[in-house]
């Protein structure tokens, strides 16, 4: 097709072809007319993605699903004549806002713990410690920079030094709600104010766990399409 287009321009007298070595050069710049590709549908859940694929709304096509991150999944076809792919649908997770490495005052931190994390043992311990702090000063014990104590209520009318749990295993909402949120290690620190912060301490391993769980969920929901060679899933 390229040769025919070049020859057409030569026949019009607007272009001259020159051969240098084994390459053919044109004296006029040529611009490709690319085949149109559809705009992807955007959904905010894995169930929406599954419903679209099962509906065959845009035809019974062979598609690949790519779990590109814990918060994004895309479905696309093979490449066309221009080596571009048709992206049909993209799912992006809706997540609560929680910044790790940021210092929060105790009231805001308690709200974040209750609204952005799955309930588990370590979360409940942290809530008890942070919710019962009685003084603004936070003391550090030991030389390792990890262990801390705070003055907190330990009974109806008593206060005492309480050890701050560290590290802690928590499951924040960081991926699609259709899958189990992965737990990971966090460093829990406090400073005078008092203020609290969580620092991720698993090197990002939770991301691989979340992506594998998304893939497993899609394989279960779309098993018929996979068995019939209509869908391939990668993570």
The residues spanned by each domain of the chain are 41-94+210-234, 104-202
Asked if 47 contacts 178 with a C-beta cutoff of 8 angstroms, the reply is: yes
Q: Is the pLDDT of residue 180 over 90?
A: yes
Cα(86)–Cα(34) distance, integer angstroms = 13
Q: Is the pLDDT of residue 165 over 90?
A: no
pLDDT at 157: 41
Work out the pLDDT band at 174, boundaries 50, 70, 90: very high
Asked if 137 contacts 127 with a C-beta cutoff of 8 angstroms, the reply is: no
Residue 74 or 33, more confident: 74
Highest mean pLDDT, choosing among 7-11, 26-30, 126-130: 126-130
Report helix, strand or coil for 21: coil
Whether cis (ω within 30° of 0) applies to the bond prior to 206 is no
pLDDT at 133: 77
Q: Residue 56 CB: number of other CB atoms within 10 A?
A: 11
- Residue of 211, 233, 209 whose CA lies nearest to 221: 233
Q: Residue 108 CB: number of other CB atoms within 10 A?
A: 12
Q: Is the pLDDT of residue 12 over 60?
A: no
- pLDDT mean across residues, the chain: 85
pTM for this predicted structure: 0.80
Compute the average pLDDT of residues 66-82: 94
Tokens of 45: 């859940």
């Amino acid at each position: 097709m390229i040769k025919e287009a070049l020859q057409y321009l030569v026949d019009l007298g607007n272009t001259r072809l020159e051969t240098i070595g084994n390459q053919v050069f044109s004296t006029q710049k040529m611009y490709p007319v690319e085949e149109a590709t559809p705009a992807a549908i955007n959904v905010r859940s894995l169930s929406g993605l599954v419903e679209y694929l099962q509906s065959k709304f845009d035809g019974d096509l062979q598609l690949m699903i790519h779990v590109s991150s814990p918060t994004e999944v895309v479905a696309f076809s093979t490449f066309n004549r221009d080596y571009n792919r048709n992206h049909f649908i993209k799912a992006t997770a809706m997540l609560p806002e929680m910044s790790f490495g940021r210092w929060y005052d105790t009231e805001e931190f308690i709200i974040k713990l209750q609204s952005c994390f799955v309930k588990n043992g370590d979360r409940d311990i942290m809530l008890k410690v942070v919710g019962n702090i009685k003084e603004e000063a936070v003391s550090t014990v030991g030389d390792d920079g990890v262990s801390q104590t705070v003055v907190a209520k330990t009974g109806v009318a008593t206060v005492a030094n309480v050890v701050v749990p560290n590290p802690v295993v928590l499951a924040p909402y960081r991926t699609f709600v259709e899958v189990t949120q992965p737990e990971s290690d966090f460093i829990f620190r406090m400073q005078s104010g008092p203020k609290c912060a969580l620092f991720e301490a698993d090197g990002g391993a939770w991301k691989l766990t979340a992506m594998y769980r998304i893939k497993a969920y899609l394989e279960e929901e779309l098993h018929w399409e996979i068995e019939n060679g209509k869908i391939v899933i990668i993570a």
